[in-house]
Amino acid sequence: MSKPAIQSPDRIRRTGTARQAPSPSGAFTLIELLVVIAILALLVSILLPSLSKAKALAVRAKCLSNHRQVMLGFVQYTVDNLDRLPPASPVQDSSPPYPGWYPWYARRFVGLYINNTRENTTDNDSLVSLCPAFRTKPGWDQLGIGYNSCWDSDLRKVPFSEVKRVSDTIILVDVTTNNVAGQWDYSASAPNGFRSYQWEQFYAFDGSPRSNPRYTRWTVYRHDRTTVVSFADGHSQAYASTMEDADSTQENEGLHRAYVDGEVVYKASGKP
């Protein structure tokens, strides 16, 4: 019986018919890729509103902090100035070296206590006097935090320590529009539109409360439909509205509703 011929290794390599299984490539199929994209899009649509709301709440918290620091400046000013608050309207001074108009946040007034280092009239580099919702550097009269202008005609006549209802008497409010060239510029109001430094919502210059809803645009609800308000006792809180920032029919919303219900006042002696 003859033995089978033994093939050489070289011949086995040349004539072998065994094949290895192809290795997997590891790439996604088109269907798998589309499913992943759809899931990511769904997650973004769910999380984005929550993230946006969280950001608005964070900005509001910063605004509340700014209000409180400014109110501390007001209180310190009264201690050093015979128990009187500063004027709301700018005061003209023609004397050197810096003639001009000095608003309430100038260094000669509350600015001294809120780290406004600029001596020139309306100049302001105090960050706590600005609404943190603004991304661009505002002009001299564009703070976004308005001082109750009624102090010029009524509240400044009363010593600060004798103000009645200090926890309800309004000092500062988030504001947006301003009186431009004698015209009520309510049409220019926007969430981050014209930022003023005074607040005159509830009364006209003759002292009567405003009833026309267009005048409620002095108060802006820029922080997730809330406005920040500071009171004579130094505390600050937010008032909510169902309206958007730029809506004009807010006479029964937010802070205005609190005024109508007697929860807040703007005069030192009590509700007007």
Q: Looking at the domain assignment, is residue 59 inside a domain? A: yes
Go through 205-232 and write b for each residue having 16 or more CB atoms within 10 A of its CB, e for each that does not.
eeeeebeebbbbbbbbbbbbbbbbbbbb
Q: Looking at the domain assignment, is residue 165 inside a domain? A: yes
Determine the pLDDT at residue 188. Answer: 41
Q: Looking at the domain assignment, is residue 171 inside a domain? A: yes
Q: Looking at the domain assignment, is residue 132 inside a domain? A: yes
Determine the pLDDT at residue 180. Answer: 40
Q: Looking at the domain assignment, is residue 159 inside a domain? A: yes
Give the mean pLDDT per block of 10 residues along the chain (272 residues): 57 53 64 83 74 79 95 95 88 87 92 92 88 71 83 72 90 71 38 63 59 58 88 93 62 80 80 48
Phi-psi region of 225 (alpha: psi -120 to 50; beta: other; left: phi over 0): left
As a residue count, the chain comes to 272
Q: Looking at the domain assignment, is residue 101 inside a domain? A: no
The helix/strand count (H/E) of the chain reads as 4, 9
Q: Domain span at residue 170?
A: 39-68+128-260
Q: Looking at the domain assignment, is residue 110 inside a domain? A: no
Determine the pLDDT at residue 37. Answer: 85
Determine the pLDDT at residue 17. Answer: 52
Domain count, the chain: 1
Q: Which residues contact 156 (CB under 8 A, 6 or more apart)?
A: 84, 85, 87
Q: Looking at the domain assignment, is residue 269 inside a domain? A: no
Angle in degrees, CA 79, 147, 78, rounded to 5: 5
> Which element (helix H / strand E) includes 77?
helix 30-80
Determine the pLDDT at residue 250. Answer: 59
Q: Which residues contact 75 (CB under 8 A, 6 or more apart)?
A: 160, 234
Determine the pLDDT at residue 261. Answer: 86
